[in-house]
Structure 1
Amino acid sequence: MFAKKTKQRHVGARLLVLASALAVGSTAYADALLRGRVNDADTERPLASAEVRIAELNRRVRTDSSGNFTLPNLPAGEYTLEVQSVGYEPTELVVTVPDAGSITENIGLNGYGVTEEVMVTGFRASQLDSVQDKNSADIIKDSIDANDAGKLPDQNAAEALRRVPGVSISIDQGEGRYVAVRGIDPGLNNVTMDGQTIGAPEADDRRIALDTIPADVLSKLEVIKTVTPDLDGNSIGGTVNLVTPSPYDDEDGFMIKGSADIGYYDMNGESPYSASAAYSQVFGSENQFGMLLSASYSLREYQSENVQTDIWEEEDGYYIPGEMVYRDYTLERERTGVVANFEWRPRDDFKVYFRNLFNEFADTEQRIETLYDYREGDLEDQTATSGTFTEGEGEKAYKKRLEEQSISQSTLGGEWLYGANTLSLSATFGHTEQKTPYDIEWSFEVSDSLPMSYDTSDFFPRVTAPGDFMDPSFFEFNQVDRNSQLVEEDLSIFQLDWRHDLDFGDNPGYIKTGLKFTGRDKTSDNTGPSYDGYEDDLLLSQFSVPGKEGFYDSVRPGFYPFGPIPDFAGWEGFFAQNEAGFELNSDDTNENEFAEDFTVTEDVYAAYIMAGVDIGDVTITGGVRFEETESEYGAYAVLFDDGDFDRAQPTRGSSRYDDVLPGIQARWQVTDGFVARAAWTNTIGRPGYIQLVPYRIFDFEPNDDDELEGEVEEGNPNLDRLQSENWDLSFEYYTESGGILAAGLFYKDIDNPIFSRSQTFENINYEGREFAELEITRPENAEAGELLGLELNWQQQFLFLPGFMSGFGASVNYTYTDSEATVFDRDDKLPFFLQSTDVANAALYWERSGLELRLAWTYRSEYLDEVGGDPEEDLYVDDHSQVDFKASYAIGDHFDVYFEARNLTDEPLRYISGKDSGRLAENEIYGWNATLGLQFNY
């Protein structure tokens, strides 16, 4: 292994030598430097991503987040400096560059159509920043400015990102959680903080739950859809980059701001609240030191009601639902986010930064459940919409769980500009945890079976049982599970980048190369004693309380009576006093102890070389990235003999693979307002951890003929990574007032998509035993899949309209994606997981004289969640739309009061059993919520 790593480092070294040789042969510039800052002339707000160009040399640069720009190594002479930014009137000025030294030119741009009542502030300014960021980029990307995120009724980073074209989110308890870019599984996207990968707190996969990160500790959220060779290759959907603020972002070098709010949830009547504060200051004799501190805190209590039927199955020619479950959820979610960024800028050409993020998310969940397992015995009196089973079982359960996720990450880095070269170095260390101190569930089952009837005449199916089902003395103790888990990941990243500016003939450009190491160490440790008996009989009536009155009455009054439920505090107290009397289920306990325990060590060595050149109005960027991935895995193989635990044996696995990822992108400034782009890139997607680790659960028992039957569930360390060849084409038209009309096409040819595969073998010898029937379930690579999509985006500020109408603006985007994949044992084509065909966003806003009003709508069509044996057994998440509103008013120069209302249409989260079947599998409701708050900014 050492030889392999050494070889990889030699590859990177040779790339650096090659880049150096090219640099030596390039045209050298004189040692003079032009620097400056681009601002809004009226508000002095810095303009990020503004384009500054020297016409005679065709050299251009973008301003940074502080509005600053630097043009190094300019030959002495007189030049025309052209400055432009979307929504502002372009300007030109003449500058004289000396033989050596530096000069400073600060430029103020006048907003298009600006009047005293309609200024470039608030959401209007944020939207212009995002449009300009897209316009000036050499790649295909979209972004949301932090102020933009603050102007939307979004509670976290995931909800802010759903406004971006081609982005959809999955919902958990009414909140956005995971981000899908162009419908790709969130685990196949790369999520970074200031360009560096974030560790994944969860055990199973690489997804980053962005509901853990409050939007108000960030300065910008970027979605990069066509990656360049200097970015990580594991980015099949795209790269989501969360940008933290810099102390140099503010014009005056000083900033203090804060906010506080309190709200109301319709379903539970609770009042959530949150607060945030930020402070930044530059100091020193030459303002060479900068410090920024930002903190955010929120506490929200949620309520939701859930009705679930599981997959529908055919019975005597009619589809009927699976077991019927009612769930009453109460959740408390507490978020804390802290950013501490420090910078040292002793000279214009040198800076050192130390960026720190700490984020903690605590989710306390209470889940109360009533279950009808009604499909037992004989089916009688069946019609097209009803029937009665002669025997049915039931369960009452009460679960409490605390899950805490934390992300801490620190990056120490620096950037040195010397001559025509830029050298960047950084080291990042991160630690993530998902800690579950307790996950306790008490369950009680009916003591004798009961006849149960079903009715599917309504869209909402229901099951009824005799009156005994409402009697707590009819339920006896079944089981209590007492789980806890700790998942940890340590992340180490070291990166070196070197860029050299040079001329390719008469065309300015650059060459860039670098090395990167990313190391992960991840562990999962689960503890789970399970008790399924007691020395005496225990009945639910001993400690029970009435269930929720009016459960689901807002949807179907009287449909779903909850009945009695366990008194959780009473049973916990009983357990504490009588633990010795409970009987440990060693089989379930051992499965809990070993099945979810694993270790992962993953090292990625990367090297790249790339170049960019401006040829007239065309910018071409291309190169190649090489990545070597080495991984080692540890887990347990758990064996059960006739349902009894036999042993847990440690298992090991490993993998190693290399990837060569070429890419080329072009940006063509067709006219002043029209940009065309094209890109060909190659990316990969690494499998999730639980898919790769060599865990196995093997259970077998004899059948009636004394022949063995068994089931195996296992991971697959031999999984190949997904590989995607990506083609993109886009056309963008920018208006003088800062609007955009854009259309883009994208195509992805994806090899090795991963699906869970279940195979049943007959008369097979498996590990020395003869099986009459053996079912093996594990993740495997399918052959290929394809995505073809269209993105449309329109944003417009109606400054050309008279009077108060000039305060209006609108934004609309729509993404259509057609996807298909070949899945094992299925003749039909299926869409990719989490792939919505249609995703849309629309917003109408009005902003004038300090008052801002915004109405926003988001929509996504249904997507595939689980694959069944045939199309009727597939599980889909139904389409989802949501309407939100926000109003704010500026009180003087420093205060804003705001009001937010979310989910005004009370949109549920809904699952359907079988696409387009209309068969409800799950429906969860949350109600609407509102917030009133105050912001301060100085």
Structure 2
Amino acid sequence: MNRPANRFLLKPISLAVVAGLMAPVSTAFAQSNEDEVIEEVVATGTRLKGTATAVMEERKNQAFVADILGAESISRTGDSDAASALRRVTGLTLVDGKFIYVRGLGERYSSTQLNGAVVPSPDPTRNVIPLDLFPSDIIESLSVQKSYSPSMPASFGGGNVDIRLKSIPSEMVFNLSGNVGYNTENSGDVLDYAGGGRDWFGEDDGTRAAPAAIQEMWNSKQFLDDLDPQVALDLFKDVYKDYDPELTSADPDMGLNMTVGNSFDYDDDWRFGFLLTAGYDAQTRASEEYELQDPDRVGDNTILVRFFDDIRGTERTVQWSSMLTLGIDYNRNHRVDYTIVALNDTRDEIREMYGNTENLNQAEGLRIRDIDVEYEERTMYTNQFKGMHTFPELNFLGLDWTYSEGRSIRNAPGNFNTRFVLEDVNDDGVFDTDSEIVLLDAQTAGRYEFQQLHDRLENFRYNFTIPYTMGKWETELKVGANYVTKTRSAENRRFDINTLAVEDSSVLVGNAYSDIFNDDVLETLELNSRAILRDTTIAGDDYVAGQKVDAYYMEADFFYDNKWRFTGGVRWEDFRQVVAPLDPRTNQFDLNDEADRAQLAFQEDDFYPALAVTYFLESDMQLRASIGQTVVRPDLREVSSATYIDPLTNFPIAGTPGLDTTDIINYDLRWEWYREAGNNLSVGLFYKDMEAPIESVQSPAQDGPPLIRIANAESGEVYGLELEFLQGLEVVGNGIWDNLFLSGNVTVSDSEIVLDRQNIVDQTGVSAAITNTTRRMTGHSQYVVNMQLGFDSDNGEHSASVVYNVFGDRILIPGIDGFDDSYEKPFHSFDVVYKYYPDFNTTITFKVQNLLNQDKEIEFEETLLRSETRGTTLGLTYKYDF
């Protein structure tokens, strides 16, 4: 069908339901002419509404407080992945574009599931899953449960995020979509470098990998220590060197997506179905940045000792995803699904950084120029079998089960950095990057780093339910179990380029690393007694870890006289974890003594109860209250004393053997009003009482970025208020107001932790000159605001949304040595999304993101610590349903 459909004039308030509550159902509307002949049936009236009604009912019927975001709402706001979509949920904030903070609690305080099952993480330093890994095209809905129930993992602080993938359709689905985009920061030329031949696919073709000869030495435990100078030079000849920045025009963002699926009935009792989705997306983001690394203080004045005041960077990302679901249903009582998911997210970033250090500064007529390249591939594969069974002959006994096996891989073969020194030789105040520059003459003139991580996880869970009715009581009993087995291995290798080995330092003059060490130069290079390669792999760079969780739970759900609902139960969880840092040179445990070894093996078991009460004030109004006891455990590397580099912040982090778990008591109270035509209003209060919360603290650094330590605070608390609403604006007046709705949410909260300096020193074994021993929790924002103004035309051909998000300032780096904490400043995100439906099959979407052109900024004491330009993004998508 290529012509516009005749459309029913829809009451806009019914469309308003869409924005607020989110996901898809289709209903047909008909228009008749004067002879009462139906011309055409179309679904445009509810293409926005989706399963908003179903989502609303699910949220309303939850025993424990939960928020649900459906696929249609994600599409409406233009968010491209699970992480960016979840920031629209009440009380959630997005950190570093990957991790969700629920109610101001860091990523370690939240758990993530995929279709109700635990999945592996490709992050080398955290158990949690970077949520930007999941593209929105494969997501059916996102469920955020904020109050604990025994069927959830006991490691529950802020909440549990369940990513629900699209399932088998009830009828034939086949659509294709393509998108193009542009970011204003990409105007003009951007930085680039010569990479591999398969970078377009997000896969290194071996270009960046360590040469075979070096890799063979590492595999045989022969490291690059004390090499003969000529042997080291011969090895260096095969090392990839073409990392020099070059200027090029940026490719536009582009993506392709396909979805095809269908269901088939056989012999009335059987139904078979499938759904296949595949997607590809490539983006380029240029930026200008500022980075302060090492401030000092003289009297009342802050002195900037080490900083980069001129940074240009370009980040290229490639994402591809594929999902296949097969399902079989018998008599609507027994259903089994199989789903396989493959996701890849590749990040390739180059930065050219100009700045000063304490010894190389402008006062001495010197500047530094760093080239920094980071390349990583994050891949996740998951196989899931899922069964849902109802036995009418056994009083409608229900059995649900899931078996999930997954693997995550992080491959980072291309991390490289090098340093040049600029000298204002002619004293003209200009540092000429062509004629006044030389490669640093030092043991650390350049560094290559190669990282691998494999995370494997197996999860089996089952759940029995049986309903029972007696008089005014309706009861459902639930018992179940959940078994998780996880193994992880991580490997890191690095070597430095020692230019002190070069006999004639004039060879180092120039601004291109690949020219300074080109093949002709290396053939005739004169060396002294030093080796040009230094292996700087250290003990603790490798580690292995294992985790096993056996959990059993019971829940009972009681309804009395359709007025009261009592839901409660208890979970018993046996948690075992071991982390073993290894010395790569010996493949032996990197443990100082037996005490350290004992602290790395961690085991605990306990009961975790929860109770929720709901009172139905009216048929459309209810009051909820709940209480639950949970725990938050340290991440895998946080109990290892080995130092590692956090790939997100580039800060060195050292864990703490013997780190205690955090015990939490969670309280929730919420009033909900589900009104006519999808309008709704809810107000909630929450409080969390924490014992020994896990926090990040700084330890004074000798040079460069601060050393971050993981330690227990003495106590902590988080409390706040959440408001959520959706209202059609026809209440304001007639005309255009009938086509508008307003939805949004506001969270106002606070937190406090109490730290003891001496206890932290005793626990970590290092100085902890903490400035503020009583402060907010790291990452906590005192307010979060989401607003959406939506428009839907009467004829269903047009819809538009203006979307706003902002969070209050939050501590990212706790202060030491008298310096205040460093805060990420509020980021006002203002987006516009417009959709046009020229015919029943076609959807054209135009979106503008970060319309205010906001920059990311981190400050302490009104001094800029970091800044990064983000630019405004324009995107156009064309989708056709066959």
Report the TM-score when normalising by structure 2: 0.78
Does 2:541 match 1:596?
yes
CA pair 795-118 structure 1, distance change in 2 beyond 3 A = farther
- Indicate the SS of the match to 1:883: strand
**Residue equivalent to 1:846:** 791
Return the offset for 1:488. Answer: 0.9
**Residue equivalent to 2:779:** 834
Given the alignment, which residue of 707, 710, 713 partners 1:782?
A: 713
Does 2:339 match 1:355?
yes
CA pair 721-501 structure 1, distance change in 2 beyond 3 A = same
1:375·1:392 contact (CA, 8 Å) conserved in 2?
no
For residues 869 and 288 of structure 1, the distance between their equivalents in structure 2, rounded to whole angstroms, comes to 64
Return the offset for 1:205. Answer: 1.1
- Indicate the SS of the match to 1:880: coil
**Residue equivalent to 1:436:** 412
2:23·2:70 contact (CA, 8 Å) conserved in 1?
no
Given the alignment, which residue of 660, 667, 685 partners 1:727?
A: 667
**Residue equivalent to 1:868:** 815
**Residue equivalent to 2:368:** 395
**Residue equivalent to 1:422:** 398
Spell out, residue by residue over 1:324-381, the C-alpha distance to the aligned partner (whole angstroms, 9 max, x if none): 20321111100011111111112221111112211001111111111211578xxxxx
2:439·2:513 contact (CA, 8 Å) conserved in 1?
no
Does 2:159 match 1:234?
no
Spell out, residue by residue over 1:874-913, the C-alpha distance to the aligned partner (whole angstroms, 9 max, x if none): 2211111111111111111111111111111111110102
For residues 776 and 889 of structure 1, the distance between their equivalents in structure 2, rounded to whole angstroms, comes to 52
1:282-301 matches, cutoff 5 A:
282-285=263-266, 286=268, 287-301=270-284
Given the alignment, which residue of 655, 673, 688 partners 1:748?
A: 688
For residues 316 and 25 of structure 2, the distance between their equivalents in structure 1, rounded to whole angstroms, comes to 41
Return the offset for 1:608. Answer: 0.6
Does 2:194 match 1:258?
no
- Indicate the SS of the match to 1:904: coil
CA pair 610-690 structure 1, distance change in 2 beyond 3 A = same
CA pair 231-756 structure 1, distance change in 2 beyond 3 A = closer
Return the offset for 1:757. Answer: 5.2
2:425·2:436 contact (CA, 8 Å) conserved in 1?
no
Q: Which has the higher contact order (CA 8 A, sep 6+)?
A: 2
For residues 314 and 306 of structure 1, the distance between their equivalents in structure 2, rounded to whole angstroms, comes to 24
1:252-651 matches, cutoff 5 A:
253-269=171-187, 270=250, 271-285=252-266, 286=268, 287-310=270-293, 312-325=295-308, 326-374=310-358, 391=364, 394-418=367-391, 419-420=394-395, 421-445=397-421, 467=431, 471-473=435-437, 476-478=440-442, 479-503=445-469, 506-533=472-499, 534-538=501-505, 542-544=509-511, 566=512, 571=517, 584=531, 589-591=536-538, 594-616=539-561, 617-636=563-582
Spell out, residue by residue over 1:131-161, the C-alpha distance to the aligned partner (whole angstroms, 9 max, x if none): 3332232221111111211111212111111
CA pair 469-246 structure 1, distance change in 2 beyond 3 A = closer
Given the alignment, which residue of 86, 102, 111 partners 1:190?
A: 111
1:262 maps to amino acid:
V
- Indicate the SS of the match to 2:60: helix
Return the offset for 1:195. Answer: 0.5
For residues 184 and 540 of structure 1, the distance between their equivalents in structure 2, rounded to whole angstroms, comes to 53
**Residue equivalent to 1:824:** 756
For residues 574 and 126 of structure 1, the distance between their equivalents in structure 2, rounded to whole angstroms, comes to 66
Spell out, residue by residue over 1:757-783, the C-alpha distance to the aligned partner (whole angstroms, 9 max, x if none): 5689xxxxxxxxxxxxxx998422222
1:598·1:636 contact (CA, 8 Å) conserved in 2?
yes
- Indicate the SS of the match to 2:673: strand
- Indicate the SS of the match to 2:437: helix
1:790 maps to amino acid:
L
CA pair 275-647 structure 1, distance change in 2 beyond 3 A = closer
Given the alignment, which residue of 144, 147, 156 partners 1:223?
A: 144
For residues 284 and 648 of structure 1, the distance between their equivalents in structure 2, rounded to whole angstroms, comes to 60
CA pair 735-586 structure 1, distance change in 2 beyond 3 A = same
Return the offset for 1:578. Answer: 7.9
- Indicate the SS of the match to 1:805: helix
- Indicate the SS of the match to 2:815: coil
Return the offset for 1:258. Answer: 2.5
2:580·2:589 contact (CA, 8 Å) conserved in 1?
no
Return the offset for 1:638. Answer: 9.9
CA pair 126-633 structure 1, distance change in 2 beyond 3 A = same
Return the offset for 1:567. Answer: 5.3
For residues 670 and 783 of structure 1, the distance between their equivalents in structure 2, rounded to whole angstroms, comes to 41
Does 2:867 match 1:926?
no
- Indicate the SS of the match to 2:121: coil
1:646-795 matches, cutoff 5 A:
652=597, 653-695=600-642, 714-756=654-696, 778-795=709-726
2:386·2:400 contact (CA, 8 Å) conserved in 1?
yes
Return the offset for 1:574. Answer: 7.2
Alignment identity in percent?
Answer: 20
CA pair 425-832 structure 1, distance change in 2 beyond 3 A = same
1:245 maps to amino acid:
K
Bigger drift between 897-906 and 317-326 goes to 317-326
Spell out, residue by residue over 1:295-317, the C-alpha distance to the aligned partner (whole angstroms, 9 max, x if none): 12101111111011235432233
1:311·1:873 contact (CA, 8 Å) conserved in 2?
no
Spell out, residue by residue over 1:826-870, the C-alpha distance to the aligned partner (whole angstroms, 9 max, x if none): 564111111011111111110112201111110001111111225
Return the offset for 1:254. Answer: 1.6
Spell out, residue by residue over 1:600-657, the C-alpha distance to the aligned partner (whole angstroms, 9 max, x if none): 1010110111100111222211100011111122114799xxxxxx996688431111
1:511·1:612 contact (CA, 8 Å) conserved in 2?
yes
2:435·2:510 contact (CA, 8 Å) conserved in 1?
no
Spell out, residue by residue over 1:545-603, the C-alpha distance to the aligned partner (whole angstroms, 9 max, x if none): xxxxxxxxxxxxxxxxxxxxx45577576798689969657876132xx3321111010
1:23-102 matches, cutoff 5 A:
none
For residues 272 and 121 of structure 2, the distance between their equivalents in structure 1, rounded to whole angstroms, comes to 33
CA RMSD of aligned residues (A): 3.4
2:439·2:509 contact (CA, 8 Å) conserved in 1?
no
- Indicate the SS of the match to 1:267: helix
2:340·2:382 contact (CA, 8 Å) conserved in 1?
yes
CA pair 823-151 structure 1, distance change in 2 beyond 3 A = same
2:668·2:684 contact (CA, 8 Å) conserved in 1?
yes
2:347·2:376 contact (CA, 8 Å) conserved in 1?
yes
CA pair 242-892 structure 1, distance change in 2 beyond 3 A = same
1:153-172 matches, cutoff 5 A:
153-171=78-96
CA pair 578-883 structure 1, distance change in 2 beyond 3 A = farther
For residues 619 and 540 of structure 1, the distance between their equivalents in structure 2, rounded to whole angstroms, comes to 80
Given the alignment, which residue of 782, 801, 807 partners 2:739?
A: 807
Return the offset for 1:799. Answer: 5.0
For residues 415 and 525 of structure 2, the distance between their equivalents in structure 1, rounded to whole angstroms, comes to 17
1:225 maps to amino acid:
K
Structure 1: tracts of 5 or more residues without a match: 1-40, 51-63, 69-84, 89-115, 377-387, 452-463, 545-565, 640-645, 698-711, 761-774
CA pair 254-375 structure 1, distance change in 2 beyond 3 A = same
**Residue equivalent to 2:765:** none
Does 2:832 match 1:911?
no
- Indicate the SS of the match to 1:151: helix
Between Structure 1 and Structure 2, the one with more strand by share is: 1
